[in-house]
Structure 1
Amino acid sequence: MTKNIILDNINNPEVLEASYQSSPSEFIGDFKQALETHNESETLKVWHARLNYGNSTTNPRTNPRTNMPIGILIVLCLIAGFIAKLPTFFHIDDNWYFPRFIPLAVIGTVIFYFLNMMNSQKIRKVVAGGLLACTVYAVLLPNNTSSASIAMALIHLPLLLLSLLAVSFMSDKWESVQSRLSFIKYIGEVGIYSVLILLGGMVLTGITLGLFSLINLSIEEWYVEYIVVLGLVSTPLVATYLFDAIQKRQSKFSIILSNVFSPLFLVTILVYLIAAIYQGESPYSNRAFLIIFNGLLVVILAITIFSISGRERKNTTHITDFINMALIGATLMVNIVALSAIIFRWAEYGVTLNRVVVTGANLLIFIHLALLLKQYIKQVWYNADPLELEVTITKYLPVYSVWSVIVVVVLPIVFQYK
């Protein structure tokens, strides 16, 4: 077995057709790999002609699962906006409501988008049950603004919701490496589309308010309270629709941008470390400096993962691979410094929930980066299977989901919601 469903079933047309119908994006990923190594195959030539007939980005068969009517999309956007405005309608405390339910409004409606197209009833019930459990938990979580455990739980609740979103996106293919890579690409693309939509919304807002001011109508307060809020909470949902229905889940920007910014971040992190040493800044004594270190880890991990997810499955090595290796290596050094600073603060100031959470997050990222660097070395110097690099990324993703459950549910109980 080659871990490639097309190569394993190249003489079984029924299986190939069933695989394509059930998950076109995964099929296309395997097809590209198969074509690189077996370009003489008549079966693959026929599939190549079929997949590229006309224009694959406009062929409705590229993604047969996309059947979301625009009317349902509008309804979901209105539901997200209504949830965001509930405190206004029913005089609910904003400080209690927004941290709990805005993530549910934004991510929850996107989850419902994919649930509408899901084939597996079992997975649909699991995701819907998880979303309901998160909602109930958010309602029952004590209202204590001075509690570090509750604050951390609310910060990590969106990460838990993203895990449910991942399962709703991948459906019954959630264990597949290709499906997990597709979800990573989806997150990157939707992030970029969301930024573009928000920038366009800012321009539209400025023009609208300017036009109405010319005729002496003041709509600023109403427009910001309703239209802007509706636009903000529904942006990820609209971006998802653009990626899924319009672009047919074809990644175009995230991989390109990650490859562009990888060398820039490498230079930035090296210069930053040198400047920090020169200035005498220390994460052992400067808490803000330590927070910046941790934020840098997350950003670089994301850029590295996006870059690797778009890497061609070839044994040939590109300059991007060496840049990613150097970036991962430099980030690991930053991570070691951050971990040592956290341990120092443990010894100096004692154990707190915040330090437990930060330590756990740093360890998770450190292990993931170390595994990626190890596999990259095997890939570059020992010609390991390129698929193993993708496996290293995707097999570790559930660890982050488990960690989010621990922070959201377990740690508040352990620290008695303090």
Structure 2
Amino acid sequence: MALLDTLTNRTNARNEAILAFTLALAAAVLIKIPALFGIHLDQHESFYLRNMSLFVLPMLTGYFIWKRQLGAQTLIGLAIAFIAAGIIANSYPFDKGSDTEVLLALHLPIALWLIVGIAYAGGRWHQPGRRMEFVRFSGELFIYFVLLALGGGVLSGFMALIFGTIGIDIEPVFESWLLPCGATGGVIVASWLVETRKSMTENIAPVLARLFSPLFAIILITFLGTMLWTGGGMDIERDILIAFDMLLLIIIGLLLYSISSRDPNSSPSAFDMVQVVLLVSALLADVVALWAITERITELGFTPNRLAALGMNIILLVNLAWSTVLYIRFLSGRGSFQSIEQWQTDYLPVYAGWAAIVAIALPPLFGFI
């Protein structure tokens, strides 16, 4: 019986590897299909900007549909979501250089990531534990993808070096084939690695969380202190807003990552105090950003970027504020760690919902400018 189980496990692992690499190849091929119709990456950047997530996320969802053996009803729902996203991304008549097009390109992958999560959860998205597993998977996927990207960068560098010795420039090949195909296929391969190498990544999560949480707290405290000392205002140009919101989202990610790697039954520790400091400093930084955005809207009115940033910062404010309350209750012995975990996982659809609103509703609301 033990031998039979071993053979079965090996067969399943081999089949899973074949499927993962087949889907990775399919994603790499899919991103090159538009070039057959004259839609080249260097000439139609906006098309690839809008559709990048649609080249890879359906394939990743297909991987989890097979792995979790989802039913036909769930499969149809997931397919409808991706088809609707594809129609919206390619039917909106965006102006050239449109801000709303950039917003759609940034927010559509966030909304579709929830669809991947539903497939990952295997039809049990309503369970907080499954949602937290998806959070852990998302963080570990990012780690593996970065490692694959670094390895691909080194490989490309060596290729350029050795082909350069015989007078051949591989930069066009790199930009047209290696980079887009490697990026899309790499997401599937990294996901497969996470699923099959969990014992390795479980040791990475707490180390990263414990390393970067205090560092980000120091950065935010220094930023707030410098702002008070100099009396300067905050620049809220589009690129600055995007970068600042990304910083706050990374902090939320660190919080989620810390929660996912922590034993919920253990007593409060010094690291939990660090988490509270990080939350409070992020909350204050978000208030500063909201103040600056509100001032600019009052002076100059609404634009797509300002409205998207206003909504995102309000969403972050609510999450950070209540997370701080729950963490303080936990530290003082008046609340459980499970309440923090459930709040964070319950709040995930809020981010996806706002991302969907930005991607779907804001472009027509502002005339696709």
Would you say same fold, with TM above 0.5? yes
State the distance in 2 between where 1:377 and 1:203 align: 45
**1:100 paired to 2:37:** no
CA distance in 1, matches of 2:201, 2:147: 17
Quote the Cα distance in structure 2 between the aligned partners of 1:120 and 1:196.
Answer: 30
Tell me by how many angstroms 1:295 deviates.
3.1
Give 1:97 deviation, angstroms.
1.6
> Deviation string for 1:279-331 (max 9, x for gaps)?
44311677765555433222212112211222211251111100000110111
- Asked if structure 2 preserves the Cα contact closer than 8 Å seen for 1:120 and 1:172, the reply is yes
2:305 is aligned, of 354, 358, 362, to 354
Determine if contact 1:186/1:251 at 8 Å carries over to the other structure: no
Is 1:372 the equivalent of 2:319? no
| Rounded Cα–Cα distance in structure 2 between residues aligned with 1:91 and 1:266 | 48
Counterpart residue type for residue 73 of structure 1: A
Separation (CA, whole Å) in 2 of partners of 1:353 and 1:285: 13
Q: Does 2:108 correspond to 1:157?
A: yes
**Map of 1:47-196 to 2, 5 A cutoff?**
68-92=15-39, 93-121=43-71, 122-196=73-147
> Aligned ranges for residues 230-309 of structure 1 at < 5 Å?
230-247=181-198, 251-283=202-234, 292-309=243-260
1:211 equivalent to 2:162? Answer: yes
Indicate the SS of the match to 1:283. Answer: coil
Question: Contact 1:156 / 1:404 at 8 angstroms: preserved in 2?
Answer: yes
**Structure 1 stretch displaced more, 210-219 or 185-194:** 210-219
Quick one: which amino acid aligns to residue 105 of structure 2?
L
Quote the Cα distance in structure 2 between the aligned partners of 1:167 and 1:144: 34
SS at structure 2 position matched to 1:174:
coil
Tell me if structure 2 keeps the 8 A contact 1:190–1:243.
yes
**Equivalent pair of 1:283/1:338 in contact (CA under 8 Å):** yes
In structure 1, C-alpha distance between the alignment counterparts of 2:335 and 2:12, rounded to whole Å? 35
Q: Which amino acid aligns with 1:203?
A: V
Alignment deviations for residues 27-58 of structure 1 (CA, whole Å, 9 cap, x no partner): xxxxxxxxxxxxxxxxxxxxxxxxxx9xxxxx
TM-score for the superposition, normalised by structure 2:
0.89
What amino acid is aligned across from residue 27 of structure 2 in structure 1?
A
Identity %: 27
TM-aligned CA distance change 1:176 to 1:97, over 3 Å: same
CA contact (8 A) 2:140 2:201 kept: no
The CA deviation at 1:82 is 2.0
Please give the alpha-carbon distance, in whole angstroms, between the structure 2 residues aligned to 1:183 and 1:60. Answer: 29
The whole-number CA distance in structure 2 between the counterparts of 1:70 and 1:243 is: 12
**What is the SS of the residue equivalent to 2:332?**
helix
Higher relative contact order (CA closer than 8 Å, sequence separation 6+): 2
Q: Is the 8 A contact 2:145 2:187 kept in 1?
A: yes
Partner SS, residue 382 of structure 1:
coil
CA distance in 1 between partners of 2:13 and 2:69 (Å): 12
Aligned-partner residue type, residue 379 of structure 1: F
Q: Which digits, 9 at most, give the CA deviation of each residue in 1:185-213, with x for residues without a partner?
A: 00100100111111111112222333334
The 2-side partners of 1:296 and 1:109 are apart by 29
Give yes or no for contact 2:21–2:188 (8 Å, CA) kept in 1. Answer: no
SS at structure 2 position matched to 1:252: helix
Mapped partners of 1:263, 1:61: distance in 2? 45
| Matched-pair contact (CA < 8 Å) for 1:101–1:138 | yes
> Could you tell me how far 1:341 is from its partner in structure 2?
1.1
- Name 1:404's counterpart in structure 2: 355
Q: Could you say which structure has the larger radius of gyration?
A: 1
2:148–2:186 contact (8 Å) kept in structure 1: yes
Kindly state the Cα deviation for residue 214 of structure 1 after the two structures are TM-superposed: 4.1
Deviates more, 1:85-94 or 1:60-69: 60-69
**Equivalents in 2 of 1:274, 1:195: separation in Å?**
33
Q: Contact conserved, 1:283 with 1:290, CA < 8 A, in 2?
A: no
2:93 aligns to what SS in structure 1?
coil
Alpha carbons 2:290, 2:310 under 8 Å: kept: yes
Amino acid at match of 1:154: A
TM-score by length of 1: 0.79
CA 1:281–1:351 in structure 2 vs 1: closer, same or farther (change >3 Å)? Answer: same
